[in-house]
Structure 1
Amino acid sequence: MQVGNARYRLARDLPSRIPVFPLAGALLLPGGRMPLNIFEPRYLEMIDEAMAGPRLIGMIQPSLDGALRDDGEPELCSVGCAGRIISLAETGDGRYLISLQGVCRFRVTDELAVKTPFRQCRMAPFLADLEEDPAGAEVDRPALLKAFRAYLQANDLEADWESVSRAENAMLVNALSMMAPYGPAEKQALLEAADLKTRAETLIAITEITLAREDEDFGSSLQ
């Protein structure tokens, strides 16, 4: 997996611990890019530390059941995604505008007791995510595009179909998963899908369920 100027192929290419940024509804996937506006002091410090080291932070959602730790901070989901900071701009008013590119998913094996204001976890990376072509040929591309087109039509949205047609399956599945306007539970299901084929099938199923519900709501409003 080539991300920015770094290449990740083996477990030793990744740190065993990673600072984490809990953010509900945020989905980062391998190869995907996520812009972030960093303004909280603890996360500004996190970015400074990451930039001085491996440039990696972990995007992870708070626990879906709303559980809290004794200190009032949310518990974390068990799976997140490590991202490399590939660009950083200072705004002049104390913020950072950064761009993350996903490297690989990870499972939290332990949250560390640290003195930093930001949280850190020990992680077990999903090494299969580092493969150059993660089973992209197995994706049912026509079914995925059919669901995507139906969603756009139902919501009066448009897409750059020329770019969509050129995108490789892995990039297409992950980009659509990241941009899909679904809730935290659906986002976590997409993140934790066993492989690219399963993620595509999950995205299709979520989209079809959403469209069916919208049709039911529209029908009810006419009665």
Structure 2
Amino acid sequence: MTLPTQHVPLFPLNSVILPQGRIPLQLFEPRYIDMLTRCLKEERGFVVVLLREGGEASLQASFYDIGTYVRIVDFRQLENGLLGITVEGDRKVVVEHSWQAPDGLHLGNLTPLDDEPEVAVPDEFGELPLVLKALCRHPVVRELEMAVDYADARMVGWRLTELLPIHKDEKQRLLELHDPVERLAQLAELVDELD
């Protein structure tokens, strides 16, 4: 499946997702239920972008222009009556131009970012896969059924960026990095500060 680049739906959130990560979402607004219907019918995904200002349900929102194109991997009716979906990150993208449709849905034209280089976790950051393993044992994270390669610096950095309790702007800064080892170095400092 090729990545669409024109008129792609944008989903502003207060959290980030990176490639191969998963997050559950609850949809209740008509604009997002319509978006889901179109995405499923056209076998397309959408882009999760981090909010700068505004709420997840507000019509007026500003957001970062680097986000992650995601694909829908599961959807179901939740006990609370809302529609629940799980999305998985595909690749990082730049939203070159965005606008709002009459129904309030944000749309954008995208440029895919190059894949990050595949690198093993350097010995000096050997504690980070252990931290990630501990986080992945949490029932909510286990429920997402993410495959994690604890030897891959990209995967360790991506998952820690999503799961660590750090400020959302810090998460965005880590998402925007292209060097997996640089991301691990910054995460190691943040983990030390959390201790």
> What TM-score do the two structures reach when normalised by structure 2?
0.79
Counterparts of 1:187 and 1:47 in 2: how far apart (Å)? 26
Counterparts of 2:48 and 2:83 in 1: how far apart (Å)? 16
- Please, which moves more after superposition, 102-111 or 139-148? 139-148
Q: Give the conservation status (yes or no) of the 8 Å contact 1:79–1:192.
A: yes
Residues 1:21 and 2:4 aligned together: no
Q: Secondary structure at the match of 2:74?
A: strand
Match of 1:180 in 2: 164
Match of 2:75 in 1: 88
Q: Deviations over 1:159-195 (max 9, x none)?
A: 65xxx99634233222222111111111111111122
Indicate the RMSD between aligned Cα atoms, in angstroms.
Answer: 3.1
In structure 1, stretches of 5+ residues that fail to align are 1-5, 7-12, 212-223
Q: Give the conservation status (yes or no) of the 8 Å contact 1:144–1:200.
A: no
Please state how far the C-alpha of 1:123 moved relative to its aligned partner.
1.0
Please state how far the C-alpha of 1:146 moved relative to its aligned partner.
5.3
Report runs of 4+ in structure 1 exceeding 6 Å deviation: none
Q: Deviations over 1:1-26 (max 9, x none)?
A: xxxxx5xxxxxx211132111111x1
In structure 2, stretches of 5+ residues that fail to align are 138-146
Match of 1:30 in 2: 19
Match of 2:142 in 1: none
Residues 1:126 and 2:113 aligned together: yes
Q: 1:74 aligns with which of 58, 61, 82?
A: 61
| Higher fraction of helix | 1
Q: Give the conservation status (yes or no) of the 8 Å contact 1:112–1:122.
A: no
Give the greater-gyration-radius structure (CA): 1
> What TM-score do the two structures reach when normalised by structure 1?
0.70
Q: Return closer, same or farther for 1:120/1:44 CA change in 2, 3 Å cut-off.
A: same
Q: Deviations over 1:105-133 (max 9, x none)?
A: 1111101353343111111111325xxxx
- How many positions carry a matched residue from both structures? 183
Match of 1:220 in 2: none
Percent of aligned pairs with the same amino acid? 23
Counterparts of 2:91 and 2:148 in 1: how far apart (Å)? 25
Alignment of 1:1-223 (within 5 A): 6=1, 13-17=2-6, 18-24=8-14, 26-63=15-52, 66=53, 73-91=60-78, 94-129=81-116, 134-137=117-120, 139-140=121-122, 142-145=124-127, 149=131, 160=137, 167-169=150-152, 170-211=154-195
Q: Return closer, same or farther for 1:144/1:47 CA change in 2, 3 Å cut-off.
A: farther
**Aligned residue type for 2:85:** I
Counterparts of 1:34 and 1:141 in 2: how far apart (Å)? 29
Please state how far the C-alpha of 1:48 moved relative to its aligned partner.
1.3
